[in-house]
Structure 1
């Protein structure tokens, strides 16, 4: 079986497109630079791109070949609905693929490429169908009770540490990892390892953007990183071998026993598949919960609306997903010369889809920067992608979000963002790494519980 990593298109550091650019190259924001994203989505720059350069050639400097940036809603949908021309496999979802000699550690780079999200038809659908049982409504309903219990336990801990807490640390990052470990079938004893490994992989992304800042916080990070990567892949190899020999009713077993082209998956695909589940499932839920609390502080009328009518929670969740846009971008690669919105695009050129820009396209969402859960098209956002690559876990994410909001509103109806937050340097996801909230409102204090003694 041929691996994606064996035939993937690596960057040639091409600064200019083959065909003349129809739209201007706007200056003022380095879309490719992770450090640019520590203030969140650049909504003003998105607006300029949508209006003046909806298919814009963007340079990467010394980081890689330039790419076409797509920002209008209908253009994004057009690309997503045409996977026969705009490939996920030819160049992976990554904005740039360095030459092979720069793949360090190679085992991690290969795992990042050899997974479901980087496959084209027919292998994409073949692999997707073999995991589908763990994403259908029946399974999600079975998982719901465990999530409800976990949310309650997490909020107990949040309350014990209040009134002012880092909601990401105590809740947003904990809930999705619990849910994903339940789905995968990770044994309880192994879950602390998963949390530790995710920490080092997230730090690696920050290290790429600002190595000295990471070194200052963790002086031994480079040595610890490679050690933890080795441990993580050794664990994956062992657990996958076990699931092949002793399959269980869990997602790890489904992955371990999947077949492509009639063959068992090679280790590179096994590694990539279980890591993808953790990363993809973690980011959407984690950053949506945090981003929604931020929005409800910024739009108090929407908070009052949902507090007075809890049946609005699903609509609120959809509108928050549109505004937060937890996935910043995905990349496709042209398999042939083509055209998009009047711009000719050459074979092997990169096309980057900016979901935060499309989700605030005023031609689709009037007054796009305002939170309005009563929009008629509130569920038409592209936060989960669109077409054949729409996120398989969207039902799981929505279930977690709904339960989280229900319990948060019951216990902390006045929860308030203090204005303090940290957003990690990451161009792939809107990575809210810290969000300070007061559980009881602006400058709120924990209510005193009065013991009523009998007369």
Structure 2
């Protein structure tokens, strides 16, 4: 089977576009530099791009080629709905692909490239269909009770440790990892290793952006990282071989027994498939949960509406996804000469869709910076993408978000941030790595039990 990584487009370091830019070049924020993203989405910069340069040539970073940034809602839908022109496979979803001699760790880059999210037709739909049974409404309903019980346990632990706790560490990153391990069928004894591996992979992006800061935080990180990655891939090979020999009713089995073009998946595709589930599902839900806590504190009228009528939680969750935009971008690559909103784009040039900018496009969402769960098009956001590559796990993410806030509002209706959110340097996802909250509101204390007199 031909690997995606064998034919992926390697960046040349292209500085200027082939065709002259139709819109002015705007500076002020380095979209391609992970270190730029430690303050979250650059809303003012997005606004400037939408208004003045909706298809904007953005410079590359550290040898990575420049790319076209797309920020208007309708333009992004145009790209998403034309996969025959704008490829996911030719250059992957990454902002750039370095020369092969720089692919380290050796197995990690091919695993990131050989996955569902980087496939074009017909391979993409064939792979997607073979995993769909774990993302349909019937399966979401089946797993919901397990997630609910786990959430209760997390909230119990938060209450024991409170009143002030790190919401990300104690809740937002725990819920999706539990859910995904249940879906995949990861044995309980193996789950602590999954948590550790995900931590090291997240730290890797921080290390690339600011190595000295990472070393100060975790001095042994550079020495342990490659060992952790080797252990992770050894586990993947072992578990995939086990599922092929002894199938279970889980997503790991569905992946292990998948076929493309009549052939079993090679190990590079197997590695990419299960790691994608962990990465994509964890980041989207973790950052949506954390961002919603922030929004409810900022827009207290909306929180009160939900407290008064919990049936509004699904609307609240969708509007929060629009405003948080947990996935910052996806990238496509032009397979042919084309044009987008008056801008000529050459074959093999990169087109990057900035979802946060589109989700606050005033042409689609009036008063776009306001949290308004009662807006008519509250569910028309692009937080999960659009078209054939719309996130396969969107129903799982929505279930976790809705169920979490049903439970949180029951227990801690006044929960509030008491410190700033800490963002990891990451240009792909809105990576919220820490947020201290008080479970009982700003300055709140644990309620005291009062014994009833007889």
Mark yes or no: TM-score above 0.5: yes
Aligned equivalents of 1:396, 1:337: Cα separation in 2:
37
Aligned equivalents of 1:360, 1:170: Cα separation in 2:
30
Aligned equivalents of 1:80, 1:177: Cα separation in 2:
28
Aligned equivalents of 1:197, 1:204: Cα separation in 2:
11
SS at 2:62's partner residue?
Answer: helix
Aligned equivalents of 1:63, 1:417: Cα separation in 2:
39
Aligned equivalents of 1:200, 1:63: Cα separation in 2:
25
Match of 2:257 in 1: 257
Aligned equivalents of 2:381, 2:449: Cα separation in 1:
43
Task: Give deviations 1:419-452, integer Å, cap 9, x for gaps.
Answer: 3220000000000100111111111111111232
Does the 8 Å contact 2:32/2:61 carry over to 1? no
Aligned equivalents of 1:403, 1:146: Cα separation in 2:
11
Match of 1:449 in 2: 449
Task: Give deviations 1:57-87, integer Å, cap 9, x for gaps.
Answer: 0011433100000000000000000000000
Aligned equivalents of 1:89, 1:420: Cα separation in 2:
38
Match of 1:75 in 2: 75
Note the 1:221-240 alignment, pairs <5 A: 221-240=221-240
Match of 2:410 in 1: 410
Note the 1:245-284 alignment, pairs <5 A: 245-284=245-284
Does the 8 Å contact 1:72/1:358 carry over to 2? yes
Does the 8 Å contact 1:15/1:61 carry over to 2? no
Aligned equivalents of 2:370, 2:420: Cα separation in 1:
21
Does the 8 Å contact 1:233/1:271 carry over to 2? yes
Does the 8 Å contact 1:40/1:430 carry over to 2? yes
Task: Give deviations 1:163-189, integer Å, cap 9, x for gaps.
Answer: 111100100000000000000000000
Aligned equivalents of 1:169, 1:63: Cα separation in 2:
35
Gaps of 5+ in 1: none
Q: CA RMSD in A?
A: 0.7
Deviation for aligned residue 1:103: 0.4
SS at 1:141's partner residue?
Answer: helix
SS at 1:419's partner residue?
Answer: coil
Aligned equivalents of 1:208, 1:404: Cα separation in 2:
33
Note the 1:46-445 alignment, pairs <5 A: 46-445=46-445
Gaps of 5+ in 2: none
Aligned equivalents of 1:311, 1:449: Cα separation in 2:
30
- Using the size of structure 2 for normalisation, the TM-score is 0.99
Deviation for aligned residue 1:389: 0.3
Task: Give deviations 1:208-266, integer Å, cap 9, x for gaps.
Answer: 10000111111111110000000000000000000000000000000000000110000
Aligned equivalents of 1:363, 1:279: Cα separation in 2:
32
Does the 8 Å contact 2:12/2:63 carry over to 1? no
Aligned equivalents of 1:63, 1:273: Cα separation in 2:
28
Paired positions, count: 454
Deviation for aligned residue 1:106: 1.7
The runs of 4+ residues in structure 1 deviating greater than 6 Å are none
- Using the size of structure 1 for normalisation, the TM-score is 0.99
Q: 1:185 to 1:30 in 2, by over 3 A?
A: same
Aligned equivalents of 1:110, 1:68: Cα separation in 2:
25
SS at 1:63's partner residue?
Answer: coil
Aligned equivalents of 2:178, 2:252: Cα separation in 1:
15
Does the 8 Å contact 2:287/2:432 carry over to 1? yes
Does the 8 Å contact 2:177/2:282 carry over to 1? yes
Deviation for aligned residue 1:367: 0.5
